[in-house]
């Protein structure tokens, strides 16, 4: 934007003409309107002494010449962030879960930045904000997401010519904690959990006919947990399964979808590696055959015919269950059988850890889990490999300390 001259400052006056101390109006001339012939000006209010006002005028001129919007100094973070969010939501290109996370993070940020002008947010503002978030008890994961959202909002503000630069580029944002396997059962623990599931499945109900819906729901939940242990699939992937995804002849299950936790609708997995076919053991296949037969008979009693589109994990009326219902059932099961602290997602870790400690090829495990790269699998489950490494050290130690034979020999390879 072309500015005429260097601009001027004018001390603000009261209604009766008295100067207001340390209150100035910064004025830039934009030339004459070619249609109306009137002078065009851009003004900004500034508080400080006269020297500071002149310096602020130079900054004001530089901002305008570098293309900032006319009303840049009036735009508040809260208003702009809401517009940013509304655009993302209306685009239809983002997953509902992503939109919901953005909504939650903005709810955390707005009490701090709602009325702060975008042009006033600098590196110091952000550093102080991150410290304040920690002091106020905001978790590390939420602080990391908050920094990401701020960066996205300010990056768009930069592209919209509202700010001159993105202060996020000059601030060290909170770092995510390294992913760790929270809980992972060993082989004995997995066997105990499997036995507990079998016991729960064989439970006898006092009035079987009346409580049949509950029994079917329980077996459906048990099936979901068995699949998590046997396949290492994510919860959303298990809940998205339909019977057409199970190939009983080849003993495999194919992951084509995942269930969105926000809308309870099916969606395509984010990565190509998540779309995969997983082999299942014969015991798991037999359990699925029994459950499919049981589900079909129950649904038929309701006038519903089971088909390939019927969810494997279903509710009392044969529809896809809400993930929160499975979580509530799992919490109840945990307390009853002594598996407190073990999340449903941890069953995926149990599956992977058991395979790694058994010496299975890490590439095969990575493919089974649907990881984007083998390095992800290695980072998550290196603890299981360390146990094998300790065992290897003990073996070589025993060899080195073995009695010395009367005559050693060299083996050529």
Start-end of H helices in 261-307: 282-301
Q: According to the model, what pLDDT value does residue 193 have?
A: 95
Q: Are 280 and 233 in contact (CB under 8 A)?
A: no
Please determine, for residue 123, whether its predicted confidence score (pLDDT) is greater than 50: yes
Where residue 181 falls among pLDDT bands split at 50, 70, 90? very low
What is the reported pLDDT for 395?
66
In angstroms, the CA 86 to CA 334 distance is: 41
Question: What DSSP designation does 403 have?
Answer: P
Which stretches of 165-281 are DSSP H helices? 187-201, 212-231, 235-239
> What is the token pair recorded at 16?
């009766």
- Confidence band, pLDDT 50/70/90 cuts, at residue 3: confident
Residue 293: what pLDDT?
96
- Work out the average pLDDT over 337-361: 89
Say which residue the tokens 């014969």 belong to.
282
Q: What is the pLDDT of residue 207?
A: 73
What is the distance between the alpha carbons of residues 274 and 110, in angstroms, rounded to a whole number?
35
pLDDT: is 142 or 1 the higher one?
142
Q: What mean pLDDT comes out for the span 324-335?
A: 94
CB 263 within 8 A of CB 357: no
Mean pLDDT of the chain: 87
Mean pLDDT of 92-105: 90
Grade residue 381 by pLDDT with cuts at 50, 70 and 90. confident
**pLDDT score at 397:** 67
CA separation for the pair 230, 283 (Å, rounded)? 10
Torsion-angle region of residue 165: left (phi > 0), alpha (psi -120 to 50) or beta? beta
Quote the CA–CA distance of 224 and 291 in Å, as a whole number: 11
List the domain boundaries for the chain: 4-67, 77-170, 187-389
Residue percentage of the chain with pLDDT more than 70: 89
| 73 DSSP 8-state letter | G
Specify the pLDDT at position 199. Answer: 95
Asked whether the beta carbons of 347 and 353 are under 8 A apart, the reply is: no
pLDDT tens figures, 261-305: 778 889 888 789 999 999 999 999 999 999 999 999 999 999 999
- Local confidence band at 391 (pLDDT 50, 70, 90 cut-offs): low
Contact in structure between 58 and 223 (CB atoms under 8 Å) = no
46-79 confidence digits (pLDDT tens): 999 999 999 988 888 877 776 666 577 789 999 9
Calculate Rg over the CA atoms of the chain.
32
CATH topology of domain 187-389: hpI Integrase; Chain A (1.10.443)
CATH 3.40.5.50 fits 77-170, yes or no: no
* Tokens of residue 372, six digits: 């984007």
Q: Give the separation between CA 362 and CA 352, rounded to whole angstroms.
A: 10
Q: Which residues contact 200 (CB under 8 A, 6 or more apart)?
A: 218, 222, 333, 336, 337
């Amino acid at each position: 934007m072309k500015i005429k001259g260097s601009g001027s400052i004018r001390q603000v006056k009261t209604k009766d003409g008295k100067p207001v101390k340390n209150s100035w109006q910064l004025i830039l001339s934009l030339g004459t309107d070619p249609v109306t012939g009137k002078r065009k000006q851009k003004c900004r209010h500034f508080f400080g002494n006269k020297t500071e006002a002149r310096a602020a005028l130079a900054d004001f001129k530089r901002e305008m010449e570098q293309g900032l919007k006319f009303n840049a100094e009036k735009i508040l973070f809260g208003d702009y962030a809401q517009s940013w969010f509304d655009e993302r939501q209306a685009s239809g290109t983002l997953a509902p879960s992503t939109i919901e996370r953005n909504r939650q993070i903005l709810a955390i940020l707005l009490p701090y930045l709602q009325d702060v002008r975008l042009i006033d947010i600098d590196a110091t503002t952000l550093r102080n904000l991150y410290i304040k978030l920690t002091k106020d008890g905001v978790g590390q994961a939420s602080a990391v997401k908050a920094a990401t959202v701020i960066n996205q909002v300010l990056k768009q503000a930069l592209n919209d010519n509202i700010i001159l630069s993105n202060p996020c580029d000059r601030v060290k944002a909170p770092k995510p904690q390294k992913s760790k396997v929270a809980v992972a059962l060993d082989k004995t623990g997995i066997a105990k959990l499997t036995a507990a599931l079998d016991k729960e499945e064989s439970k006898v109900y006092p009035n079987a006919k009346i409580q049949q819906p509950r029994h079917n729901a329980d077996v459906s939940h048990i099936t979901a947990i068995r699949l998590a242990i046997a396949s290492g699939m994510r919860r959303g992937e298990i809940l998205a399964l339909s019977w057409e995804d199970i190939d009983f002849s080849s003993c495999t299950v194919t992951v084509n979808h995942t269930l969105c936790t926000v809308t309870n609708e099916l969606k395509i997995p984010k990565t190509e590696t998540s779309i995969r076919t997983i082999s299942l053991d014969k015991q798991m296949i037999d359990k699925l055959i029994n459950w499919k037969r049981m589900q079909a008979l129950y649904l038929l009693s309701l006038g519903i015919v089971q088909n390939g589109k019927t969810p494997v994990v279903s509710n009392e009326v044969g529809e896809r269950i809400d993930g929160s219902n499975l979580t509530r059932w799992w919490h109840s099961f945990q307390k009853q059988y002594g598996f407190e602290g073990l999340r449903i997602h941890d069953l995926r870790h149990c599956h992977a850890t058991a395979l790694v400690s058994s010496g299975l090829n890490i590439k095969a495990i990575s493919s089974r889990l649907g990881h984007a790269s083998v390095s992800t699998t290695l980072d998550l489950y290196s603890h299981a490999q360390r146990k094998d490494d300790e065992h290897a050290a003990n073996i070589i130690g025993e060899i080195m300390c073995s009695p010395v034979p009367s005559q050693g020999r060299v083996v050529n390879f």
